[in-house]
Structure 1
Amino acid sequence: MKESLLCCSVCGQPLTFDEKNARCPKGHCFDRAARGGYVHLLRQHRRGSSDPGDSAAMCQARTRFLEGNWYGPLRDTVAKLAADCAPQDILDAGCGEGWYTRAVLDACPDARLAGIDLSRYALRHAGRTCPRGDFAIASLFELPLADASVDLVLHLFAPMCAEEFARVLRPGGTLLTVTPGARHLWGMKEVLYQKPYENPTEIRDLPGLTFEREVCVEDTITLTDPQDIAALYQMTPYAWKTPKEAADRLLHRDALTTPISFQIHLYRKG
């Protein structure tokens, strides 16, 4: 059994994990084995639907693409920056399938980690492939963690809730955020849209946190498998809002070359 960073969604007490369940000192029990390694800590008033978070199809597409290591430069940089923080306790806020999580834990072999996401499909994969982490369905806007309980919060391509991140960070702790750079996936946008638009790149002021520095990661990738092109498209927000005619132009291509660009921002809690 191991004490987790996660807390009971009923009483707020720390949870202890074993292979099958998670329990708090007051006896509240959460089934872990039946869910594929994660627990359900999303409170009722935070449930926007009966099946929140990314769909199975989106998670499968993201897993296929990421496991091809197309975003390897970003993963390696995030893992190195995390290790530089020498954290004992880490929250991966919006962990998805755990692809970045695994690299961070490899770089921080003595750290504990809790991963939060809304998608049960993503967390099943994370629970199977990252046994060192404790994973839960929960809202980033109501984190099931105690105040000042982690040294590092990872926040990659997920909704921002600075107040909650500041709450769970210890004094001196770090928030590491990743957002798309201005011309991220520009090659794909040129196929989809007549007038592609750049992503916003401003440095945000976050309450309770002080901006420290920016690290940029850029590369160019060439996809030569139509299934990889489809996976990349399906894991992005463009798949929700692009007209079918434009999507067909992309999905019928045999190859796609595009820049990838990421902004990593590091913030410190005073």
Structure 2
Amino acid sequence: MSIFICPVCGEKLEISGNTYLCSEHHCFDRSRSGYVNLLLSKNTGSIVHGDNKLMVQARRRFLGKGYYEPLCTALCNAVSEYIKGNTILDAGCGEGYYTTAINGKLHEQNIAASVYGIDISKTAVEYAAKRCREAEFAVASVFHIPVGNSSCDMLVTLFAPYCGEEFRRVLNDNGVMIMAIPSENHLWELKKAVYDTPYKNEVRPYGLEGFRLEKQQRITYDISLDSQEDIDALFSMTPYYYRTGREQQERLAHIGNLCTKVDFELLLYRKF
């Protein structure tokens, strides 16, 4: 049974074979990769929503080498500790690195839960669906989540846009939201290698309407990138790549190795 609802009329979607069908007879086919596209948009053929193929592949290569494994471990531990119920939504799941790890941790701990993931990037969701067959994925926006009211026990949002109204709507009473954001020193040495006057990240106050902060964990350490391929992958998966000119991009093109700090905030909230 799926928690997804029809993006047209809001009725519950039932799965019949490879088709999602609502009571109003709106239907959506599941792709061969295993995901369903629930993003309603005009001219979808000419618009690339979310991360493009370059960013998705770069992130997939980089994360696959374990550079962010401490964050992933902390996230999975928090999920297994705080999950009460059986429905988890990864809102902004990307290519499924963290979603897959969460699903694996639940199995390891013998916790019965259903994992869902949404992302606005079709390319990312396709990779995610291929990577984690046990989870259910949809192309969708976090600003219009195709999930019923109060249908999730936990919501995970990692470096994704924040939409408090939708997150509160889909979480049930006392539901848990786990958020990961970059802290002030994240990728500081990478920035110094690119920019003449680098700036540290602004970390906003933790307070969020309708949520109570229950736990904050800072995860910071250094990573050493010993290949140009890994440096390029890290840079390409960040917004910096698209905010810099050719001259700035060229500064990284041949440096060969880089040691930089990664600095995260893992925040756990409870809806009230």
What TM bracket, shorter-length normalisation?
over 0.9
Match of 1:106 in 2: 104
Q: In the alignment, is residue 173 of structure 1 matched against residue 175 of structure 2?
A: yes
Question: Residue 223 and residue 210 in structure 1: after superposition, are their counterparts in 2 closer, same or farther (change >3 A)?
Answer: same
Matched to 1:62, the amino acid is R
Aligned residue in 1 for 2:83: 86
Tell me how far apart the structure 1 counterparts of residues 45 and 205 of structure 2 sit (CA, whole Å): 30
Letter in 2 for 1:43: L
Taking structure 1 as reference, are residues 77 and 106 closer, same or farther at Cα in structure 2, changes over 3 Å only? same
Q: 2:213 aligns with which of 195, 198, 211?
A: 211
1:187 to 168, 186, 189: 189
CA contact (8 A) 1:217 1:261 kept: yes
The answer to whether the Cα contact below 8 Å between 2:83 and 2:176 also exists between their aligned partners in 1 is no
- Counterpart Cα distance in 1 of 2:58 and 2:268: 29
Query: Which residue of 1 is the match for residue 128 of structure 2?
Result: 126
- Displacement of 1:15 in angstroms is 2.3
Distance 1:77 1:167 in 2: 26
What 5-or-longer segments of structure 2 have no aligned partner?
none
Question: Paired residue for 2:255?
Answer: 253
What is the aligned partner in structure 2 of residue 51 from structure 1? 48
Residue 28 of structure 1 corresponds to: 26
- Superposition deviation, residue 51 in structure 1: 2.1
Could you tell me how far apart the structure 1 residues matched to 2:253 and 2:76 are?
Answer: 32
Which 10-residue stretch deviates more, 75-84 or 192-201? 192-201
List aligned pairs for 1:2-17, cutoff 5 A.
Answer: 3-17=1-15
Equivalent residue, structure 2, for 1:161: 163
Separation in structure 2 between the aligned mates of residue 93 and residue 216 of structure 1, nearest angstrom: 21
Q: 1:60 aligns with which of 48, 57, 69?
A: 57
1:122 is displaced (CA, Å) by 0.4
Shift of 1:223: 0.6
Shift of 1:108: 1.9
What secondary structure does 2:2 align onto? strand
Partner of 2:230: 228
Query: What residue ranges of structure 1 are gaps of 5+ in the alignment?
Result: none
Contact 2:180 2:267 in 1 (8 A): yes
Is the Cα–Cα contact under 8 Å of residues 150 and 170 in structure 1 kept in the other structure? Answer: yes
Please say which of residues 5-14 and 68-77 is displaced more in the overlay: 5-14
User: 2:241 pairs with 239, 242, 248, which one?
Assistant: 239
- Of 264, 268, 271, the match for 1:269: 271
| Cα displacement (A) at 1:46 | 11
Identity of aligned residues (%): 39
Q: Deviations over 1:30-58 (max 9, x none)?
A: 11134x21111112379796221111111
Matching residue's letter, 1:6 = F
Deviations 1:162-215 (CA, angstroms, capped at 9, x unpaired): 111011111111111111011111110110112221111233332221122211
Structure 2 CA distance for aligned equivalents of residues 223 and 17 of structure 1: 45
The one-letter code of the counterpart of 1:70 is Y
Shift of 1:231: 0.4
Q: Within 2, Cα distance between the matches of 1:67 and 1:16? A: 34
